[in-house]
């Protein structure tokens, strides 16, 4: 769970053992937190402590969508990693008592699964998602695998359930992060030069940002993520992970 507001930031990603997990047809519980499907919406209840500073992260997220998708695509020809949007064009309601945050807006929910660690396959991974004027979502994966191959996936998910391919334009370099990670985004050449408007998460191997780019002839604000595989494979970074990802039973 990552919460970003002006002057506030809470992050929690606690790893828990099998003893902390319970599952039924409608609920998935991990420790004190849980996801529940009510039949019309997904309700996510968070009750965690942030890291490395142990502050409370407690609240409820409700996500609904005009169309839920049963759709999946391999991220490269190996088929070892797969991506499937569940609610790519959704509405979200957020209500957190700690920290005090309450808002509503556009939401997005997807699923990633793999049969091997992500860093075993990829050297660079740039992902972006933008909500377009008609409420649809445009998602781009721009991937470079360890064998030197490149894989590009660009899909637009309409609120009526249609999924279409689109040309996201050429790759544009973005400003490097504080940890000197290179990042890039696809954007149509006719629009303004893409740029980072805010860096939300800056770590030695992963960065999450807000970026301006051009999709379908219009300037949009995308949620953008970059993963650096060589950094994640390094022994030093792995020693640092428990500071942000504690393990509990």
Six-digit token string for 186: 């696809």
pLDDT at 52: 86
**Residue 38 Cα distances to 25, 35, 195, angstroms:** 11, 10, 40
Q: Is 187 exposed, middle or buried (0-12, 13-18, 19+ CB in 10 A)?
A: buried
pTM as predicted: 0.92
pLDDT at 92: 96
d(CA 36, CA 152): 33
What's the mean per-residue pLDDT of the chain?
Answer: 94
Six-digit token string for 205: 């191997």
Give percent of the chain above pLDDT 70: 100
> Has residue 5 got a pLDDT over 90?
no
pLDDT at 249: 74
d(CA 147, CA 10): 37
pLDDT at 159: 87
Tens of pLDDT, residues 11-41: 999 999 999 999 999 999 999 999 999 999 9
> Has residue 243 got a pLDDT over 80?
yes
Q: Give the per-residue SS3 of the chain.
A: CEEEECCEEEECCCEECHHHEEECCCEEEECCEEEEECCCCEEEEEEEECCCCCCEEEEEEEEECCCCCCCCEECCCCCCEEEEEEEEEEEEEEEEEECCEEEEEEEEEEEEEECCCHHHHEEEEEEEEEECCCCCEEEEEEEEECCCCEEEEEEEECCCCCEEECCCCCEEEECCCCCCCCEEEECCCCCCCCEEEEEEEECCCEEEEEEEEEECCEEEEEEEEEEEHHHHHCHHHHHHHHHHCCEEC
Contact 177, 199 (CB under 8 A): yes
Contact 9, 239 (CB under 8 A): no
Tens of pLDDT, residues 72-103: 999 999 999 999 999 999 999 999 999 999 99
The Cβ-side half-sphere exposure at 21, using a 13 Å CA radius, reads 7
Tens of pLDDT, residues 127-150: 999 999 988 999 999 999 999 999
Tens of pLDDT, residues 166-214: 999 999 999 999 999 999 999 998 778 999 999 999 999 999 999 999 9
pLDDT at 116: 96
Strands 150-157 and 137-145: antiparallel
């Amino acid at each position: 769970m990552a919460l970003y507001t002006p002057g506030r930031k809470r992050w929690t990603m606690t790893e828990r053992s099998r003893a902390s997990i319970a599952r039924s047809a409608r609920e998935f519980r991990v420790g004190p937190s849980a996801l529940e499907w009510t039949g019309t919406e997904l309700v996510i209840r968070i009750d965690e402590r942030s890291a490395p500073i142990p502050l409370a992260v407690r609240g409820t997220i409700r996500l609904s969508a005009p169309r839920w998708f049963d759709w999946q695509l391999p991220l490269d020809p190996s088929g070892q990693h797969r991506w499937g949007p569940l609610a790519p064009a959704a509405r979200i309601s957020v209500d957190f008592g700690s920290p005090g945050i309450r808002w509503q807006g556009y939401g997005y929910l997807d699923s990633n699964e793999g049969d091997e660690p992500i860093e075993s396959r990829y050297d660079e991974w740039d992902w972006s998602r933008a909500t377009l004027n008609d409420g649809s979502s445009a998602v781009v994966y721009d991937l470079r695998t360890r064998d030197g191959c490149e894989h590009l996936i660009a899909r637009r998910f309409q609120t009526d359930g249609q999924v279409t391919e689109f040309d996201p334009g050429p790759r544009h370099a973005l400003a490097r992060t504080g940890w000197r990670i290179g990042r890039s985004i696809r954007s149509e050449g006719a629009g303004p030069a893409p740029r980072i408007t805010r860096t939300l998460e800056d770590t030695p191997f992963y960065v999450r940002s807000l970026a301006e780019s051009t999709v379908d002839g219009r300037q949009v604000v995308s949620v953008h993520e970059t993963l650096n595989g060589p950094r994640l494979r390094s022994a030093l970074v792995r020693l640092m992970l428990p500071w942000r990802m504690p393990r509990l039973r």
